[in-house]
Chain A
Amino acid sequence: MNDLITMQVIRYASEQVADEMGYTLVRTGRSTIITEIKDISCVVTDAKGQTVAQAHHTPSLLAGFEITMKELVKEYRPEDLSPGDVIITNDPYKGGQHIMDLYAIAPAFFQGELIGFVGNITHHSDLGGVAAGGVAGGIREIYLEGLRLPMIKLMKAGVEDKEIVGIIENQIRVPEKTLGDIRAQVSSLMVGTERLNRLFTRYGKTVIQTAWNDLLDYSERRMRQGLMDLPDGVYTAEDFIDDDGINDTPIRVDIKLTIDGDRAVIDLTDCDPQAEGNTNSTIANTHAAIYYVMIAVVDPHAPPNSGCYRPIEVITKKGTIADPLPPGAVAARTNASQKIAEGMFFALSKAVPERVTAGSHGQITTCGFGGKDPKTGQLFIYTDIQGGGNGGRPHQDGADGQDSHLPRFMNTPVEAVESRFPVRIERYEFIPDSGGAGKYRGSLALRRDIRLLTGPVSFARYSDRQKFPPKGLFDGLPGACGRILRNPGTKEEERMKSKGLDTLQAGDVISLQVPGAGGYGDPKDRDLDAIDRDLRDQKVTVEAVERDYGVVVDRASMTVDRAATEKARPQAA
């Protein structure tokens, strides 16, 4: 920590390199999952593979780099690498997330010496496997989930390996999209290595390497100081995944969190054994959930890098839902990792009630529609991810219409979807009463209804919180469960499994209704003006308000009747 001023200067410059890589990836990508949703992440690491800077995208994709880079520096010694090399992998059992998330990593050189790596990870529309989009639930084996690539050099000294491209091309449904997206990843890396080289030219090797080390130490120090502010103790929590898409039994996530001075130990060994279906959380994904919550609670403004992770020890047992063994399938992993994050918040709520949120939607509703586009005669794959809201917070409601926790995705605009895919979106709106009541209300659930204009179309998806609702905290009430309906409001209305792979026909409507989020604090303590606003905005119904908040609503003005309420709820005055 010699020079914290130089450290800040180098930090901003390194973050800039990562941001620029993210920008390039979005601008040159082809699938809407990159260009609209932005399901990507970009990092700069030092020569040991420690993350020193990340772009402002998805935190959940990040911790995987830590593990992937450890594997990478084991497999490739510096002398095995040359400028212009690009290594790709998506192996969930080597730091990967799931098959659809492909890492691309390039070594960066300065004056002939390896000085670090730049990396990105991107969710692809297709990398083969049993279901278009690769997001089917209820899959038993990793082999069915797509093309599992070990660490391989896609580019050698700037030249694309035709044989590898040929293998990939043969396994995928929409090669022009996927290969275009992979090349966007390469572009982003080329920009990254070039900018990093420029940075080294500007400041010199020693200055940057010292600053990077200082930066990692600095983040570690901030986390340790933050941990000191948390009361020592052992805090536990549990949460449940509805099912694994095959067996109709809940799967338990068990958190034992120990705060001990300036360190934390998170023990997950008592989590349920790994599932037969693909709700298993790979180790990278498990770490991501834990690191996210720890940074968010302990020091949300610490520079997010490998230093933050040093005071945190994660203990898992192989063969559990939090650390599965091959050939376990993993695509629906976010059902588990979001529960780990939820459990972490609930465990920490006992230590620092003012620094946590009530239960969020606690899953990620992800679906892929695949079929033939009648206009072009070509295959199409429409992958869509639905955002979900936050629970009530210590001093705020959960923000309606704003995604929460691990991802930082965007939605796909209706006009972007309909311009590209043979579907029509018939509604995209809030579901009233879906936010759990509380002193601070949980955010409302979102509903998106999609009509297919062609058929047959495969419908792969995973989602959760359809049996165990988003939890309320400190007497806050739970939020609404999610559901997926086929042809809602018709005689054929059918509730579909939360995780699965089905075939739909032209004209079918799929209604994706994500879960709401839990309330924070006793509903009886809610500000009456806030209830009035929710009534005015039709975010809640009169019946629900009277039931959950114990108030009396004047039907003429549709506002809380203060006098009548005082009788019913004396403390409200």
Chain B
Amino acid sequence: MTIGADKKVRVAVDVGGTFTDAVLTDTSGLGLAAVKVPTTPADRAIGVMNGVAAVCKAAGVGTDQVAEVVHGSTTGTNALIERTGSKVGFLTTAGFRDVLEIGRVQRPMAGLYDFTVDRPPPLVPRYLCLEAVERINAEGGVITPLDEDSVRKAADAFAAEGVEAVAICFLFAHLNSAHEDRAAEIISERLPDVPISLSNLMSPEYREYERASTTVMNAYLTPVMRSYLQNLEGRLAQEIGGARLSVIQANGGSTSVEFAKAKAVTTVNSGPAGGVVAAAFYGRQHGRERIVSVDMGGTSFDIGLIEGGESRVTTEGDFQGLPVKIPIIDLHIIGAGGGSIAWIDRGGALNVGPKSAGAEPGPACYGHGGTEPTVTDANVVLGRLNPANFNAGQMSLDVDAARRAVGTIADKMGMSPEDAALGVIKVVNANMTKGIATVTIQRGIDVRDFSLFSFGGAGGVHAVELAQELQMAEAIIPPLPGTFSAVGLLATEMRHDYVEALGGVVAQEAETENLEARFRSMEEQGRAELSAQGFDGDAIKLTRLADLKVVGQTYELLLPLPDQGPVSREGIEALLREFGTLYRERYAFFFEGEPIELVNLRVSAQGLNPTVVFPESADAGADPAPAQVGSRPVYFEGGGWTETNVYGRDGLTCGMIVAGPAVIEEETSATLIPPGTTAQVAADHGLIVDLKAS
């Protein structure tokens, strides 16, 4: 459908390593259009503007119709990976200068027996870590008043070193922020233009290293994000004018540019977070509330978890091996993608990854000089990918090069290239299965009644087999899998999270009025922030949550309050029952009658955006023959080479049933329907492979 010239539109732009994806709908969520344009690494804002222009053109609307641009940025993530963030001065309590470098002293997991493996170095070297004389105790009381001269001395040193940002983390500042606040005033007198990040604002929770790490990372990214966003805002104002810019955060919600500039750390990993949000959104539309979402690209495999129709949020995550104590979408990223290289180890076992052929030279079949066998090469050898129609026909694949590459490991294992290629697929699938287990089974979640939701260019040829391996109920491949993360950006809600630490209240004895007052105060803040961003009435959704734990234990479980009304004794009882159920589910054992502690109260404030509506087709019967574009032999375990029907995704319409073995091809992806399984085409062209029957 076309969008009228009188309508306003919303555009979402997701910047990836190679491509910038842009999608668009009108402000009612209709008229979905999607494009891919090249990413412009030197100044990514150019690619963003190109994407906006291209998607407007594709949808037949003028850029002057753009009301909002929702942006998923990799700028923060890249600055962290490449260590190109700013020069930060770190100020902490006297005696604890080394908190960042000591960290938790733990050796990295990959170095259990390998003593050459180190943790990532801190973002601030020791000479820029300085001390202020002050001390607050575990009750929040002042033991040593802030020595303001010690702060001035540090400010002078930071000025002399030319730091671009300052981070302050004092012990127990989450209980009493007075010293941090005053130190920030003193430093800003000396360094008026330098942004300052305070631990009591960034992450008001205990454990000094994790809080300091979060605060420092925020400072490290603030100047970078500020200048990037200012540049982008400037271009937007110049070329479009009037369009509001929103930025996606790692918690899966979007926020204003102003907020993102103040909390730059919240923008890290936001692209993958958008994908999980998209999966949750799509699942809700199809009545699926339990989903494992997987996004398989060239080098990485991002796994997300959705329960009760909502993506799961954690406060125990890390970015690039450095802890961040803010609510982020619980994402597990493993080094497995189409470019992952297969190799034989000294014991003769086949391994895949984590080394990747990357974009250059890429898999051997790209013909850019790669000789090592990759997952994509294995898929080519097995006939699962169409060498003549790859990446919208812009590329053809060299089958002989793929066979040669896979042949190198086949010879070592004494098997045919086809069987070696099958082995590569099995091992990479096992890696991915283990990764999925890490975010599901490890959290006590039985994946067998979950749907596997697969997107990203490389996912479709693995999705159904992965779901089978995990005994999952079904596999779903949505429409537009290649640009699905960007669709997610359009579907995200504006989101702000608030937390109040209670400092240990036994839930059974909690004063309900006090809890109510604390929830109310957070809700008022949330409502005020959202109305400043243009949301009101029913478009504001507030959710009350709480962190609870067994008294004496250390780790909490986060639960939404079952009764979202005013806090009552009955409501707390209901919350405790839910806690018991969840605890038993996770840890197998729960001793009834244990005192339970309320650790934190939380409010999540969401500003609701219009939903995205996928175009639908009419039911034209189950026979997929009209969509068939040909057939070719594909190699399967047990069956060997089998003539397999090939369908064009564009030709599939609602109600068609594609029986495996089959391959479904589209512009930027392909889906394998293995023998014995069938895919059903949904009205919105999503593919649903029901595995319960098989």
Provide the residues of chain B in CB contact with A430, threshold 8 Å.
98, 101-102, 126
For B97, what are the chain A residues with a Cβ–Cβ distance below 8 Å?
429
- A301-B114, A537-B126 known; A12-B588 Cβ under 8 A: no
User: Which listed segment binds B: A97-105, A404-412, A463-471, A559-567?
Assistant: A404-412
Stretch at the interface among B82-90, B383-391, B427-435: B427-435
Given A414-B171, A446-B102, check contact A226 B346 (CB 8 Å): yes
Write out the residue numbers on chain A whose beta carbons fall within 8 Å of the beta carbon of B143. 424
A210 interface hit (Cβ, 8 Å): no
Interface membership of A281, Cβ < 8 A: no
Minimal Cβ-Cβ distance residue in B for A420: B138
Contacts of A401 in B (CB 8 A): 98, 101-103, 105
Whether A410 and B112, one on each chain, are in contact in the complex, defined by CB atoms closer than 8 angstroms, is: no
Report yes or no: A12 in contact with B587, Cβ–Cβ below 8 A. Answer: no
- Identify B107's interface contact among A222, A408, A538, CB under 8 A: A408
- Which residues of chain A come closer than 8 Å to B349, judged between CB atoms? 4, 7-8, 218
Residues of B within 8 Å of A35, CB to CB, are 553-555
Pair B171/A415 contact, Cβ less than 8 Å: yes
Q: Which residues of A contact B581 (CB under 8 A)?
A: none
CA distance A449 to B95 in the complex (A): 9
CB < 8 Å: which of B98, B206, B207, B589 contacts A190? B589
Residues from chain B with Cβ under 8 Å of A533 in the complex: 125
The 8 Å CB contact of B102, one of A301, A390, A428, A538, is A428
CB proximity of B99 to chain A, nearest CB, Å:
7
Q: Across the interface, name the chain B residue whose C-beta is closest to A56.
A: B109
Given contacts A16-B434, A191-B444, contact A415 B98 (CB under 8 A): no
Given A29-B554, A403-B106, A427-B96, A302:B437 Cβ within 8 A: no
Q: How far is the CB of A214 from chain B (nearest CB, A)?
A: 9
Chain A residues with Cβ below 8 Å from B589 are 28, 183, 186-187, 190
CB distance from B55 to the nearest CB of A (A): 41
Q: Which residues of A contact B348 (CB under 8 A)?
A: 1, 4, 218, 221
Which residue of B107, B137, B209 is within 8 Å of A403 (Cβ)? B107
Residue of B nearest to A308 (CB): B113
Cα A413 to Cα B209 with chains together (Å):
7
Is the C-beta of B552 less than 8 angstroms from some C-beta in chain A? yes
Size class of the A contact interface (CB-based, 8 Å)? 35 or more
Taking a contact as CB atoms under 8 Å apart, the answer to whether A12 and B434 are in contact is: yes
Contact for B114 among A36, A300, A395, A416, CB less than 8 A = A300
Please, which residue of chain A has its CB at the minimum distance from the CB of B102? A401
Alpha-carbon separation in the docked complex, A467 to B444 (Å): 49
Chain A residues within 8 Å of B107, by CB: 402-404, 408
Q: Tell yes or no: A180 within 8 A of B by CB.
A: yes
B105 lies within 8 A of A403 (CB): yes
How far is A390 from B554 in the complex, measured between Cα atoms in Å? 30
The interface size of chain B toward A, counting residues with CB under 8 Å, comes to 65
Q: Are A222 and B112 in contact (CB under 8 A)?
A: no
Q: Are A399 and B104 in contact (CB under 8 A)?
A: no
Quick check: is A71 within 8 A (CB to CB) of the other chain? Answer: no
Question: Could you say which residues of chain B place their CB within 8 Å of the CB of A19?
Answer: 438, 442
Task: Indicate if B238 sits at the interface (CB-CB under 8 A).
Answer: no
For the complex, what is the distance from the CA of A390 to the CA of B115, rounded to whole Å? Answer: 8
Which residues of A in the span 4-31 have a Cβ within 8 Å of any Cβ on B? 4-5, 7-9, 12-13, 15-16, 19-20, 23-24, 26-30
What residues of chain B lie closer than 8 Å to A13, measured between beta carbons?
433-434, 437
The answer on a CB contact under 8 Å between B207 and A28 is: no
In angstroms, Cα B102 to Cα A430, docked, is: 8
Known A4-B349, A15-B434: A415·B426 in contact at CB below 8 Å: no
CA of A221 to CA of B471 in the docked complex: distance in angstroms? 33
**Chain A 44-75 interface 0/1 with B at a Cβ cutoff of 8 Å (1 = within):** 00000000000010010000000000000000
Q: Is B172 an interface residue (CB 8 A)?
A: yes
Q: How far is the CA of A410 from the CA of B471 in the complex (A)?
A: 36
Q: How far is the CB of A365 from chain B (nearest CB, A)?
A: 12
Nearest chain A CB to B267's CB is how many angstroms away? 27
Cβ contact within 8 Å between B442 and A176? no
Query: CB-nearest residue of chain A relative to B446?
Result: A198
Q: Which residues of A lie under 8 Å from residue B105 when comparing CB positions?
A: 387, 401-403, 409-411, 446
Kindly list chain A residues whose C-beta atoms are within 8 Å of the C-beta of B118. Answer: 396, 399, 402
B347 sits at the interface (CB 8 A): yes
User: Is B332 an interface residue, CB under 8 A from the partner?
Assistant: no
A225 interface contact, C-beta 8 A:
yes
Digit string of B596-612 for contact with A (CB within 8 Å is 1, else 0)? 00000000000000000
Closest B residue to A558 by beta carbon equals: B127
Point out which of A176, A225, A410, A413 has the most chain B C-beta atoms below 10 A from its C-beta.
A413
A415 touches B207 (CB 8 A): yes
Interface string of B657-679 (1 = CB under 8 A from A): 00000000000000000000000
CB <8 Å contact, A296 and B554: no
Expressed in whole angstroms, the Cα–Cα distance for A357 and B351 within the complex equals 28
- Using known A-B contacts A24-B587, A401-B103, A403-B105, determine if residue A393 contacts B116 with beta carbons closer than 8 Å: yes
Query: How many angstroms from the CA of A4 to the CA of B427 in the assembled complex?
Result: 10
Q: B103, B210, B347, B471 — which one has the most chain A CB atoms within 10 A of its CB?
A: B347
Does B208 interact with chain A (Cβ within 8 Å)? Answer: yes
Q: Which residues of B contact A27 (CB under 8 A)?
A: 553, 555, 586-587
Q: Is A299 interfacial (CB-CB < 8 Å)?
A: yes
Interface residue ranges of B531-560 to A (CB < 8 Å) = 550, 552-555
In the complex, how many angstroms separate the beta carbon of A103 from the nearest chain B beta carbon? 18
Q: State whether A225 touches B346 (Cβ < 8 A).
A: yes
Does residue A194 face the partner (Cβ distance < 8 Å to B)? yes
Contact with A along B211-231 (1 / 0, CB 8 A): 000000000000000000000
Q: Could you tell me if B206 and A419 are in contact, using CB atoms closer than 8 angstroms?
A: yes
Whole-angstrom distance from the CB of B324 to the nearest CB of chain A?
Answer: 16
Interfacial residues of chain B within 340-388, with CB under 8 A of chain A in the complex: 345-351
What residue of chain B has the Cβ atom nearest to residue A20's Cβ?
Answer: B442
Contact between chains at A56 and B115 (CB < 8 Å): no
A295-316 interface (Cβ within 8 A of B): 295-296, 299-302, 304
In the complex, how many angstroms separate the beta carbon of B15 from the nearest chain A beta carbon? 33
In the bound complex, how far is the Cα of B352 from the Cα of A8, in angstroms? 11
Contacting pair B208 A415 (CB below 8 A): yes
Q: How far is the CB of A54 from chain B (nearest CB, A)?
A: 9
Q: Beyond A16-B442, A183-B591, A429-B95, is A413–B555 a contact (Cβ under 8 Å)?
A: no
Chain A residues whose CB sits within 8 angstroms of the CB of B113 once the complex forms: 59, 292, 295-296, 300-301, 304
A531-558 interface code vs B (CB 8 A; 1 in, 0 out): 0010011110000000000000000000
Asked if A286 lies at the interface with its beta carbon under 8 angstroms from chain B, I say no
User: Which listed residue, A186, A191, A414, touches B96 by the CB 8 Å rule?
Assistant: A414
Q: Is the CB of B95 within 8 A of A428?
A: yes
Q: Enumerate chain A residues within 8 angstroms of B172, measured Cβ to Cβ.
A: 415, 418
A-B contact pairs, 28 of them (CB 8 A): A9-B433, A16-B434, A38-B106, A176-B552, A186-B589, A221-B348, A222-B347, A225-B346, A292-B113, A302-B347, A387-B106, A395-B116, A396-B116, A400-B101, A404-B107, A404-B115, A408-B106, A409-B105, A411-B104, A415-B206, A419-B138, A424-B137, A429-B97, A430-B126, A536-B125, A537-B125, A538-B126, A538-B127
B residues at A contact (CB < 8 Å): 94-99, 101-107, 109, 112-116, 118-119, 125-127, 137-138, 143, 171-172, 206-210, 345-351, 413, 423, 426-427, 430-431, 433-434, 437-438, 441-442, 444, 471, 550, 552-555, 586-589, 591
- State the 10 A-B residue pairs at the shortest beta-carbon distance, nearest first: A427-B95, A387-B105, A35-B554, A537-B126, A300-B114, A190-B588, A222-B347, A12-B434, A187-B589, A300-B113
Known: A8-B351, A16-B437, A429-B98. 12 other contacts (CB 8 A): A4-B413, A7-B349, A24-B586, A28-B550, A190-B589, A221-B347, A222-B345, A292-B113, A393-B115, A415-B206, A428-B96, A538-B127
| Residues of A in contact with B (beta carbons under 8 Å apart) | 1, 4-5, 7-9, 12-13, 15-16, 19-20, 23-24, 26-30, 32, 35-36, 38, 56, 59, 176-177, 180, 183, 186-187, 190-191, 194-195, 202, 218-219, 221-222, 225-226, 292, 295-296, 299-302, 304, 357, 387, 390, 393, 395-396, 399-405, 408-411, 413-416, 418-419, 424-430, 446, 449, 533, 536-539
